[in-house]
Chain A
Amino acid sequence: MRETTLAQSLPELPIGDGAEAFIEWLTSSFGWFFVGVRDGVGGIVDATEWLLTTPSPYVMIAVFTLLAFAATRSWGLPLFTVLTFLLLESMGRFPEAMQTLALVLVATVLAVLIGIPLGIWAARNEKVSVAIKPVLDFMQTMPSFVYLLLAVVFFRIGRVPGVMSALIFAMPPAVRLTELGIRQVDKEVVEAANAFGARPREVLTGVQLPLARASIMAGVNQVIMLSLSMVVIAGLGGAPGLGATVVRAVTGMNIGMGIEGGIGVVILAIYLDRVTAAFGREGRGRRRSASKASTDEASLSQNDDTDDAEGSDQATSDDRDRSIST
């Protein structure tokens, strides 16, 4: 009895209907905007795809292998690259893999271009940081299919909804890890820059960003992995590439094709993860974390009466074990 009264007294909020009406209004009033984005992003994706698919696959495999070597300076990853990408080609999945890669690259670049400045803003402004948090949570937890649905409504089917939904789904780590990275920079070091009269811009570009680099690169790595996973799902929305292959395999119960598409995604994922992770540790960053251990030991033995808890946390994001999140 009581439950019915409670249910009756609760007003029925037509969230779904409202959202639908709102989106209809958006598409009709801002149609020009969505058309503009569709044409712009579509153009960039087409160009990227053209770049990746026009040369012979063997040329591309050579390029990827060199890139892997440049990133890691060792033989393991380049060897892996040659073997797995040749496997892709022999399965006949290389063109699809390049189409997927084009979507991932465009989505990642856009997400980083928006996400890093947002993260910087949030690190410098407490209000922005507080305001942005629930939005990021929303973006990350909303089921990715729902984005795809919305993106298809706004941008029709094809590549663009794939990129746009990947952009939204994958951007949060770029924002969060940029903010975190900047906030983790030793407070005294930032004070030192300020004490010598550095302008805010000099503090940011000369001190905070370089010292947050490892964390920011971890964010970029996450963006890439998330957008790869989203781009595969975007096969449902008509985006070409390995996603489309998998979708076709699932709808046609074609096990062989499904496994080939799946292996293609895994190969891309491992390659992108290892390369970006290596770039994140590259250069001085790597040297710092290598010799960091010895200085920490030295300062530990010296600081018997003061605590030196800060300052040692910079290396942790460097050394964090990276795992694939797809």
Chain B
Amino acid sequence: MSKLRVSELTKVFGSRPKRALELMEQGRSRSEILEATGQLLAVAEVDLKIEEGELFVVMGLSGSGKSTVIRMLNRLIEPTAGTVEIDGERIDQLDPSALRSVRQSKLSMVFQHFALFPHRTVGENAAYGLKVQGVNEDERRTRATEALETVGLGDRVDAYPNELSGGMQQRVGLARGLATKADILLMDEPFSALDPLIRRDMQDLLATLQSELNRTIVFITHDLNEAMRLGDRICVLKDGRVVQVGTGPEIIDNPADDYVADFVSDVDRSRVLTAEQTMRPVRRTFSPDDKPRTVLDWLDEQEFSGAYVVDRDKRILGVARDDRLANGVRSGATSIADLLTQDYATARYDTPLSDLAGMAANSTVPIAVTDDTGQLFGVVPRARLLAALSSQEVEVDA
């Protein structure tokens, strides 16, 4: 069961949503509906399934309906139609008091402009969710201080928000969201009001926290690089509709339409794409018992200069290079075991291309891609690497 499930979620802003809904069902676009009815179709038939522990990014430009989507999850904005389920419970049907208790126990939120209470101290801000829950003051202070420590502000408990910089204020916002131990954290463009360096710090902080806390996070952004950096999966919204849902590399590699393609065209591909998307299977590996002649013939045929030699568990033993093989043939070696060099580079599945580029420069054979146990899984030849880094779709057969 998904942690958070949204189906057919729709929001019409205006006094007479019925007619707009009819037109929406006929598949009319937002601008057509606005012209015909004067009603703004902010979000149309959004379906999402968000799994426990996932950092799910909703991305879109301004006006794409992303802020409306996140606010319908905790009903700061009432959905016009559709359902929202948390742990299988229908949120959209709760009465106000049941809704408040869900908001207290399961959902917390971080806002774009921090939305701290200026008349309360940092500690009181971080403790706000607990106060609303009716937690007593001592425990509130302890837990708020704990939460502030996790974001690196343990020493500013008694300061007021206006005494802190923007980045620190948002850390308080984050601490306020973490203090209640709610399973789901809604983050509405939390870093977009920060300057780029601070933003990067905050992204790192969130990534670190998430690896420890494993909350379910719905993260809104208009910044594709941010989405790619943080998101386990990304949902691209356009005019209130979902255009594509997938992992970052999936979206870059295979954009659903021209809109997404255009969007991803200026993303820093080298940081998003990893060895996994770029590698190809190994054509052929050799065992140490193979004869030098066999390997050399194969290399000659393929016009390669080296091949990987692996043991029975597919762990790399070394590289058989053509020049040394030729020497071996001349000196009458019976196996290639003594001819191997360690002149190669390895990368893991999730190594970004930006790191591969450096390795590729120094090795004669394709970069080896291994899994956690060190098994050779594939290789990234230089030509494939270069093709992947350019945004053009190039079919490479290297």
Point out residues on A near B: beta carbons under 8 Å.
186, 188-189, 191-199, 202, 206-207, 210-211, 284, 287-288, 291-292, 294-295, 298-299, 301-306, 308, 310-311, 314
Chain A residues in 8 Å Cβ range of B166: 298-299, 302-303
| Contact call B113/A211, Cβ cutoff below 8 A | no
Q: How many Å from the CB of B371 to the closest CB on chain A? A: 40
Q: How many Å from the CB of A153 to the closest CB on chain B? A: 45
Q: How many Å from the CB of B160 to the closest CB on chain A? A: 7
**How many residue pairs, one in A and one in B, have C-beta atoms under 8 Å apart?**
103
| Contact call A311/B113, Cβ cutoff below 8 A | yes
- CB contact between A197 and one of B116, B129, B160, B165 (< 8 Å): that residue: B129
Instruction: Tell whether A191 pairs with B162 under 8 Å between CB atoms, given A196-B128, A196-B180, A197-B132.
Output: no
Instruction: Tell whether A207 pairs with B111 under 8 Å between CB atoms, given A291-B163, A295-B162.
Output: no
Chain A residues in 8 Å Cβ range of B112: 188, 306
| Contact call B76/A191, Cβ cutoff below 8 A | yes
| Contact call B119/A210, Cβ cutoff below 8 A | yes
Cα A301 to Cα B167 in complex, Å, equals 12
Flag whether B193 is at the interface (Cβ < 8 A).
yes
Of A191, A195, A302, A304, chain B has the most CB atoms within 10 Å of the CB of: A195
Chain A residues in 8 Å Cβ range of B186: 195
The residue on A at minimum CB distance from B108 is A196
Chain A residues in 8 Å Cβ range of B74: 195
Cα A306 to Cα B109 in complex, Å, equals 20
Known: A188-B112, A295-B162, A302-B167. 16 other contacts (CB 8 A): A188-B111, A189-B115, A189-B117, A191-B71, A194-B76, A195-B108, A196-B109, A197-B129, A197-B133, A199-B132, A284-B160, A288-B162, A299-B166, A299-B193, A301-B195, A303-B195
Chain B residues in 8 Å Cβ range of A189: 115-118
Cα A303 to Cα B195 in complex, Å, equals 6
> What 0/1 readout, one digit per residue, does chain B (368-387) give for beta carbons within 8 Å of chain A?
00000000000000000000
> What 0/1 readout, one digit per residue, does chain B (62-75) give for beta carbons within 8 Å of chain A?
00000000010010
- CB contact between B193 and one of A186, A192, A210, A303 (< 8 Å): that residue: A303
| Contact call B193/A196, Cβ cutoff below 8 A | no
Cα A61 to Cα B195 in complex, Å, equals 56
Q: Which of B97-105, B141-149, B257-265, B332-340 makes up part of the contact surface? A: B97-105
The residue on B at minimum CB distance from A202 is B132
Cα A304 to Cα B176 in complex, Å, equals 26
Q: How many Å from the CB of A287 to the closest CB on chain B? A: 8
Flag whether B198 is at the interface (Cβ < 8 A).
yes
Cα A315 to Cα B180 in complex, Å, equals 31
Q: How many Å from the CB of A316 to the closest CB on chain B? A: 14
Q: How many Å from the CB of B6 to the closest CB on chain A? A: 17
Cα A199 to Cα B133 in complex, Å, equals 10
